[in-house]
Structure 1
Amino acid sequence: MTAGAGSAPDSPAPVDLLTFGESMVSLRSAGPLANGGALNMQVAGAESNVAIGVARLGHTSAWAGSVGADPQGEFIVKQLRGEGVRLHHTLHPDRSTGVMFLEQRTADLSRAFYYRAGSAGATVARDHVAAALDCGARIMHLTGITPALSAEARDAVEYAAERAASECIVVSLDVNYRSKLWSRDQARAVLGPLARHATIVIASDDELDLIAPSQAGSGAAGHLGDAGAGDETPADGEACNAQRLLEAGVREVVVKRGAAGAAVYTADGHLEAPALAVTCVDTVGAGDAFTAGYLSGLLDGEGVPERLRRGTLAGAFAVSTRGDWEGLPRRDELALLDAARGSTVR
């Protein structure tokens, strides 16, 4: 493994979902940071958010990575273990755990300030992933955040995607583009090739073009008609990008639209579901909550409509409570927000 004190895995048994990446501490303010005041420390990280969400819904999950040999790293380890997430991690002796400050600037706007350059989390490497995959998993969940952290993290993502696909493990790839980590062109160059290994691609509607094959290389021209790029509406662009991904071998293309709900494209058609109307207090982590709910449905053998329903329910819990993952539901709590909702296949 990467330099630093190693940690034996919490359990060598196979898990339902395995993920890896950087987990940080998030220091949250109730108002502008410049005004000072109390800060609340929490665990943050898209991958660990999904691992926690899946565990709360009754599945087994594991997270691999590295944290600093510091109080912040100890806090992360304790929190993840407390949520039932199995760990394959190292403690880096020379690098600190990453830190994120999150300010509630207005009731509707939060701003994040990262201090993660050169962090312990950026040293996640293929050795972490190899050891975790040796234990077995049904789903390998990846995000587009991890390969932006370092060359070794990018290598780890590419290794994980290729190995998992070769072992018939479902590969879930959430684009999760972060403009503070890299440009769209840089992200496209790295994430695009990963699509050939992905079973499921998850993205916001403005992220699909970062991973979809180009029209010229996809063989999708017959599905595009005669419309030029200037004639293409946002909805058309989404459908075309999804079609290219399906033709490249992706089984499901899941589009997160926030308050507008979500959609799934498969070879069988196009399914949409509205978001659940709740009072929104904090949108941070909502996409990860949706992903956890959707993958939970997949693990239970549910069809796409039920996966969408569970994803939107989990997302509703996330936005109606504060924190990256603290408000995520347990399985017996899903009914608290469940309601009759319609989905339309086209």
Structure 2
Amino acid sequence: MFSTARQRIAAAALAALAGLSVLTACGDSGTTTTADGKTVLRYQGSTGQVTPFELAQELGYFEKISLQWEGDTTSGPANIQAAATNQVEFGSAFNGAVVKLISGGAKVTSVLSSYGADDKSFSGYYVLDGSPITGARDLIGKKVAVNTLGAHHEFITREWLHQQGLSEAEIEQVQLVVVPPANTEDALRKGQVDVGTLGSVFRDTALERGGLRPLYTDKAIFGEFDYGTYVFRDDFIGKNKDAVADFVQGTARATRWLQVTPRDEVVARFATIIEKRGRQENTELLKYWKSSGLPVPGAVIAEKELQIWIDWLVRNGELKDGRLKATDLFTNEFNPYANGTYRPASGPAGEVLAE
């Protein structure tokens, strides 16, 4: 399945993940509260961007929690590892990375979808207009730029190659090269890589400059789909159920607000939030914001969104068949759009929306 190098990398990653439950158990499971009794949830953000939970705090959707920024994350896998090892209370990553984390022994549970692909927001895998690469077989021996290994873009790329009929041995010959998203377009145009992974503002600004064409997209492979989730440690959920429930209901409502609010209003609100937090961030890229990227009202998790990656890992020999069930890895218990509090298609306050 894997080359020797990849086997060493996979073994090291699984060994590190296997220790996460031990590290979590040794960590301080106590919580901090504010003067008015709210539970403090530490988190990692993203520079120049506003997450749905940060929006929820701005909109006043939280009643029992207060957010505390602990810096910015470098990737989804790093973010959920920080959550699993008690550096922060929750994290978000691609569901395939979540499954790998849990298979390595981490005691975490997905509580809400965090990102996905809809008709306006998705990730594409681009080549130069003059590139001779037109199909999957042309990628054998070529370089594909991804933001990190073991996450969304590696899974999508390997799945596309598999669907296009390449054998595992042939897929192993496609070189995945880690390139920061901000540098991917430049690396592609200079010929340092053959395919560049571009999403959100990086895709939009690159396409404005022209000269690129998509080879495949995540949306074309799976359609509109929720790809990532927020996870909390199981011990934290057990001891702070009200806080987790408040996080989920508020973030679900903020996600719904993003899904039904005019774009200009969203962008203006984001700019206000970024300016308020005073981190000297650039707000120019906000003009490229298009949508939440989450096609499901209120970010409700569907079983298939985790099962598909369990099956993927089993097929690739990274997980024993039957060891994990998707239904054991997530809960919609706290989501008002799933637990009967609101009708699934209602607005952020449970109101009926005009069709």
In the superposition, the TM-score normalised over structure 1's length comes to 0.27
**Larger RCO, structures 1/2 (Cα 8 Å, 6+ apart):** 2
- Which protein has the larger Cα radius of gyration, Structure 1 or Structure 2? 2
When you count strand as a share of all residues, which structure comes out higher?
1
When you count helix as a share of all residues, which structure comes out higher?
2
